[in-house]
Amino acid sequence: MAYSTEDLVIMDSIIKRYPRSRSSIMPLLHFVQSRIGYVDGEGIELIAKLLTLETAEVSAVASFYTQYKRKSVGEYHVGVCTNTLCAVMGGDAIFAGLKAHLGVENDGVTADGKVSLEHIECNAACDYAPVVMANWEFYDNQTVQSAKDLVDSMRQGNPQPPTRGPNSLVTWKEASAVLAGINDGKAHEGIQAGEPSLLGLKISKEGK
Amino acid sequence: MTQLVPVLSAHWDEKDSFTIEAYTRHGGYKASQKALTMDPDAVIQLVKDSGLRGRGGAGFPTGMKWGFIPQGDNKDHYLVVNADESEPGTCKDTPLLMANPHVLIEGCIIACHAIRAKHAFIYIRGEVTHVVRRMNQAIEDAYKAGHLGNGVELVLHVGAGAYICGEETALLDSLEGFRGQPRLRPPFPAIAGLYARPTVVNNVESIASVPAIIANGAEWYQSMGTEKSKGTTLYSLSGHVNNPGQFEAPLGITLREILELSGGIRTGHTLKFWTPGGSSTPIFTQDHLDTPLDYEGVSAAGSMLGTKALQIFDETTCVVRAVLRWTEFYKHESCGKCTPCREGTWWLVQILRDLEAGKGTEADLAKLLDLCDNILGRSFCALGDGATSPITSSIQYFRDEYIAHITHGGCPFDPVASTLFVGAGA
């Protein structure tokens, strides 16, 4: 059993957030990823048992959403936006560069288990293109070289901090816990907004 | 010249803008106090009078949507905020929640009072860890301060990577713990939404606009914008421009004005095509620089205001490549429920890949348009409709460029020229 009594208490509190228990499937799946790193059979069975559902019902949900992984990803999961705007502005080159640099394909993990790579869709940061995400934290305005440096820092065990995020990059499992709704006390870290977010405000204050 | 008017974004430049202290310092939670003393119907009327329309894409009048919730029905009512921002090009709600999550919470409190709901949910996309942190911390702080928990419970629900969940009925299915697949309407969410109960689903920016409307009045909001598109909104400028970013302006500003204010197209280049409201809205060209960016103006010019996501592409960009990539996105994100969208987007990708690689024929262009005709309006939701927009509009404006791929036997563009780091040895 991979889950402690404390884990079960947390899972129970997640279920109690909702008027109807089934609504808690998604945060519970994020929680399973925070403990195991991906969604495994035991996690599916546990959620099914807690919610009095068939395992097939839980699997059906888990397999629909791309953030739920069926196998281990790296300690740092890197997503390169290759939707049109980021792709055109350099995302395609960054993704190709990282594949070659890490020696992995899309959805691949480095042999040391440190970094996995995935091409992702638009991540709502187009004014910071080209964008790279790591454990779903923002790394803005990337180049091929800066992205290579970023993954190198991860493999050396000292990842660069996100551009708009906490003071240091948390691991995949730790990020999954945040997505399950568990407060890691880092909400106050990092900037409130990057320069592009503030550009209109700045121009307005200059009286234009 | 239209002036920028920061309302939602007014205090984003303060270092601690996301804290409850900063929000309260600027009069935060006074609007909800005021609203709670008002009759709920009066709140709905005020929002109706303000002219606020949905900022998530459809532009439906917010107050009218609230007014559809049946009253005295002895049923639970729900408010659901759509924070699943994922339409390509759209990047306004994410910085808003990063810099000021409390304005959304206060908007939720007011909206719940108006529609007589005790429970609200914010459905946020899962790929934004730090925004989830900020939002959850803000909710925790609002509970501690007594703004939440005294009549309104608010839960942040984190998605897991599915564009389709930005569609309101797919979002509701997802929130109920199912695969995110759209429902047939009617019944609309106002009658049978979350848990088959009357539900209002609003975009982040719509709900976040409400506190200022309550605080300053409907007349103040009405005084900005155009005849049928009132108030201010966030325009998101991205792509081949010197200075991308967020620009809050009265509805009706033009792209030419935004470019003049922000510093224009990438130096040494010219505007080729752009989206007014994300990739699901038909593309525009240089000819549309003076189109008023309000609901009516954009619609009259053949597109949609959508999410006001202005993605700018200069002359180095291959339109076929751009459209292929968007189409691959729609194929990937199609939930698979409706055949025209599931099968149609798959075929669109096959044909566009051939065309981009120079292996297509002119007959393929006709086939693309025929497929689009068979997808548009034939599925439960608008995802398939959105997939046809870039294709039909790009063939309308850039047919010659498609033909050039055929005659050239491949793409005539150098992809390096369109990157930001061209010439940087990257």
* Inside any domain, residue A70: no
pLDDT confidence of residue A1: 62
Q: Cβ separation of B244 and A196 shorter than 8 Å? A: yes
> By residue range, what is the domain housing residue B213?
20-222
pLDDT confidence of residue B425: 45
Query: What ipTM score was computed for the predicted complex, to two decimals?
Result: 0.98
Q: Do B121 and B209 belong to one domain?
A: yes
pLDDT confidence of residue A2: 84
pLDDT confidence of residue B326: 98
How many helices (H) and strands (E) are present in chain A, helices listed first? 9, 4
3-state secondary structure of A11: helix
Q: Quote the minimal CA–CA distance from A4 to chain B in Å.
A: 24
Find the Cα–Cα–Cα–Cα dihedral B383, B386, B392, B394, rounded to 10°. -130
Closest CA to B424 of A57, A60, A94, A5: A94
pLDDT digits (tens, 9 = 90+) for A59-112: 999 999 999 999 999 999 999 999 999 999 999 999 999 999 999 999 999 999
pLDDT digits (tens, 9 = 90+) for A137-179: 999 999 999 999 999 999 999 999 999 999 999 999 999 999 9
pLDDT confidence of residue B1: 85
pLDDT confidence of residue B412: 96
Q: Do B116 and B180 belong to one domain?
A: yes
Say yes or no: A159 contacts chain B, CB-CB below 8 A: no
pLDDT confidence of residue B426: 41
* Inside any domain, residue B421: no
Q: Do A130 and A152 belong to one domain?
A: yes
Q: Do B167 and B285 belong to one domain?
A: no
Residues of chain A above pLDDT 90, percent: 98
Please answer whether residues B110 and B31 qualify as being in contact, where contact means their C-beta atoms are separated by less than 8 angstroms.
yes
pTM assigned to the model: 0.97
Specify the number of domains making up chain A.
2
Query: If you search the block for the tokens 């752009």, which residue do you land on?
Result: B274
Q: Do B206 and B101 belong to one domain?
A: yes
- The sign of the CA dihedral B3, B8, B9, B11 is positive
Q: Cβ separation of A186 and B246 shorter than 8 Å? A: no
Chain A segment 20-59 residues within 8 A of B by beta carbon are: 20, 22-27, 29-30, 51
Query: Considering B283, B314, B345, which residue would you say is the last residue of a domain?
Result: B314
Partner-chain residue, chosen from B138, B158, B237, that has the shortest CB–CB distance to A127: B237
Q: Testing the interface with A: which of B3, B98, B130 to mutate, by most A Cβ within 10 A? A: B130
pLDDT digits (tens, 9 = 90+) for B76-119: 999 999 999 999 999 999 999 999 999 999 999 999 999 999 99
Contacts of A20 in chain B (CB under 8 A): 176-177, 195
* Inside any domain, residue A191: no
- The sign of the CA dihedral A57, A62, A64, A65 is positive
* Inside any domain, residue B151: yes
CATH number at residue A146: 3.40.30.10
Residues contacting residue B296 through CB under 8 Å, at least 6 positions apart = B226, B227, B228, B229
* Inside any domain, residue A25: yes
Q: Do B380 and B303 belong to one domain?
A: no
Contacts of B317 in chain A (CB under 8 A): 88
Quick one: closest CA in B to A18, which residue? B155
Give backbone dihedrals phi and psi of A163, rounded to 5 degrees, phi first: -70, -50
Q: Which two tokens stand for residue B198?
A: 């009357």
Residue B181 carries which side chain, given as an amino acid letter? Q
Q: Do A92 and A167 belong to one domain?
A: yes
> Per-residue confidence of chain B (426 residues) as pLDDT tens digits?
899 999 999 999 999 999 999 999 999 999 999 999 999 999 999 999 999 999 999 999 999 999 999 999 999 999 999 999 999 999 999 999 999 999 999 999 999 999 999 999 999 999 999 999 999 999 999 999 999 999 999 999 999 999 999 999 999 999 999 999 999 999 999 999 999 999 999 999 999 999 999 999 999 999 999 999 999 999 999 999 999 999 999 999 999 999 999 999 999 999 999 999 999 999 999 999 999 999 999 999 999 999 999 999 999 999 999 999 999 999 999 999 999 999 999 999 999 999 999 999 999 999 999 999 999 999 999 999 999 999 999 999 999 999 999 999 999 999 999 999 876 544
Q: Quote the minimal CA–CA distance from B135 to chain A in Å.
A: 8
Q: Do B82 and B161 belong to one domain?
A: yes
> By residue range, what is the domain housing residue A20?
5-62
Q: Do B48 and B167 belong to one domain?
A: yes
Q: Do A164 and A108 belong to one domain?
A: yes
Asked if the bond preceding A27 is cis, omega within 30° of 0, the reply is: no
What burial class does residue B274 get, using C-beta atoms within 10 Å of its C-beta: 0-12 exposed, 13-18 middle, 19+ buried? buried
